[in-house]
Structure 1
Amino acid sequence: MQEKPFWWEAAAPIETDNQLPDRSVDVAIVGGGYTGLNAALTLLDAGKSVVVLEAEKPGFGASGRNGGMIGYMLKPGLGGLQSQYGAEKGCAIAVEAVKSIDHVQAVIAQNDIDCDLTMNGRQYPAVLEKHLKSMAKEAELRMKYLSVDEQIQIGDGYKEDVSTDLYVGGIQQAQTGGLHPGKYVKGLANVVLAKGGIIVGDCPVGGLKKESSGFSITTPSGHLKCSEVLIATNGYGGNLTPYLQKRIMPIGSTMIATEVLDKERVKSLFPTSRMITDSRNMLSYYRPSPDGQRVLLGGRPSILPASPAVQARALKKRLAEIFPQLATVDISHVWSGYVAYGFDALPVIGKHEGLYFAMGYCGSGVAMSGYLGHKVALKILGQSEGDTAFDDLPFPTRFYYNGRPWFVPVAMVGYSLRDRFGF
């Protein structure tokens, strides 16, 4: 069993020139994932000089570790957004997520990125009747206000998409889909380089200093001067900027990939090849691999930190609960990464003390991260097209949070108990 992302078999993070330019640039982007690379594309197309600084290699973080699922669901739900912000504002926020679907498709098409994009929909099966009732209410709101195509499936209707007896119904969505995340981020990086952008890998930023003419950035490779800085680190920012560190929580998620299976066997489990995310509080998300030869499953398998082997065993057990016929298959890969949450469980975009930022995708960032990367680049360019419904939302912290989410295991215990006893 390999302890690295399955995605890297076909698209390992690219090697880059680790030399900083010997001149000042217009924009320095900290973070070489979906957000930073999409922002770089927009800035380069506007004629700006851009350097992307990546602590590891482009796509090493969440952009090369996620499940590759494209969706428009925000964590508070449309009902929650309307309740908190009012009907009009709540809808405007939700519409941004729908727009992100169009953006990711456009970027892939315009730049001819081969990343196994398949927009064949998604299934959200419900474990309990009360889950299905709540999910159906949300689906009706989305269909009413967002003009999206969804079907509420009661009973065995969900089996059109996933062959298991575990669920009581589900919500089937069109206008969503999946891709190969490693190929997508590698393709973005190559397009940035082809357009004249500079990507400096293995180059963690150690310090940012505001100067009269812009910023000076300190790295192990030397200093870089620039006019503007974009922080696009999501759950990997560490203590680089205290303001963001106090507001963004990195939360671990783990995935496994099975050994190679017969394609017909995988097809029998996923007849439509749709992406699947269930309704548990400690949810599972799973899918067939793009080549149709493996099953991939992700979630949060352990409350306390555990070795990759322990996490793999826990996720394999979960896989066997869904598909008992896979109980004896081997696991070929296990890997983990960080998703990023804010306390309002919404993406954030803005500017603080001269630094632009976009992050906090709450585990649903394949489309939203690139979309907000594009939007924050438009803000840097001073264009009104960069305005979003997220702009005037609060970005809170908590007095007890210092950058280490020590309270997450406590919450996970509660979620696990609710799942076990059907609360």
Structure 2
Amino acid sequence: MKKSLITWSESNLTAAKARLTNPLLAPAYKSLIAAADQALDCSPFSVTHKTTLPPSGDKHDYLSIAPYWWPDASKLDGLPYINRDGEFNPASRDSSTDSIRFKEFTSVLESLSLAYYFSDDRKYADKAVALLNAWFLDAETLMHPHLEYGQGIAGVTTGRGIGLIDTRNITTIIDSIIILDPVLTEKQVRGLEDWFEQFLQWLCTSKNGLEERNQMNNHGTFYDSQVACIAIFLGKDDLAKDRIRDTLTNRLPEQIESDGRQPKELHRTRSFHYSAFNLTAYARVARYGQLLGLDLWHADPSGTGSPMLKTAITWLASFIPNPNSWPYPELTGVQVLPLAMDGALPVFLQALLEFGTDQDLSTALGIAAKEVPEARDWLIWPMTEADLTALA
């Protein structure tokens, strides 16, 4: 199968591997290996482990609950649920459904595959392959390739297009698969490709998939990133280009203002979080565009005179030194967090690599180096030696 990395970058990972003892990268590498060592003892993850049956009655079907929807206290049965934006219903984050299980699976798989890449220790790869088998290939434990029952709302719907946000990091699963190529059998490769072929077909034709494609906030951007990444993985470059062009021509000018604000994210109760969240999806689509000759990073469809993504990212970074200056609702704080916490760190790192030195980005990353030195984002998107020296 051997394919090039899609969401991550071979050259960036190679650069990080060559300087793992650098003062900025060493804590991240130590933390990564510790996480991978712990993962060696974890049990396989499977959608069949949930305790709540999906409406189909088949535990192989993915099931999740809308996180911001709660029982209506004014009703005896609590139905229908009501929305409390930004406030997590604990029932959406327990083992009775699949969203947290999928998130943990993705994180553990990433730890193991990256540890294998950086250390060349086969034990991490073998464990990662066992986890892939359980989630995607083993007939007893695999997930059916669809999200018909993603983010259902009690008393309202059994599943929504919005549920596709649950699998946003399936893009890093694909890169983990690519890293693990040397230890995968041909049968496993064919099985994984078949699973993603079916999932891509569902994304592009199902009611929920088409509903998510039409969203004009972070949901739509993450839809594009998932479809484009899977399409590239399967050699369907024309489909990937279609989604990337749609991001460039329709989403970018619709979602980002000339000063970098994202109005569709700023009205949320976690406005900084969602602004960074949406830019995470944009950075991925921009990366895929680079692979296919489409330049989203430097696009300026509104004619502002500056790349719109750069403007949006640096605008966000400018608030990091003084979080209290953020003028919009924010329940969880203005801070540089790693990707594992859906934070802005990987976006800031990619922007610095793409656009070069910028005062707002450098300042924000200097703060991040002190607050989250163990984040693996430093390894995935390593800065230049000059930048590393400045921040170390």
Q: TM-score, structure 1 length as denominator?
A: 0.26
Which structure has greater strand proportion?
Answer: 1
Per chain length, whose mean CA-contact separation is higher, i.e. which structure has more relative contact order (CA < 8 Å, sep 6+)? 1
Which structure has greater helix proportion?
Answer: 2
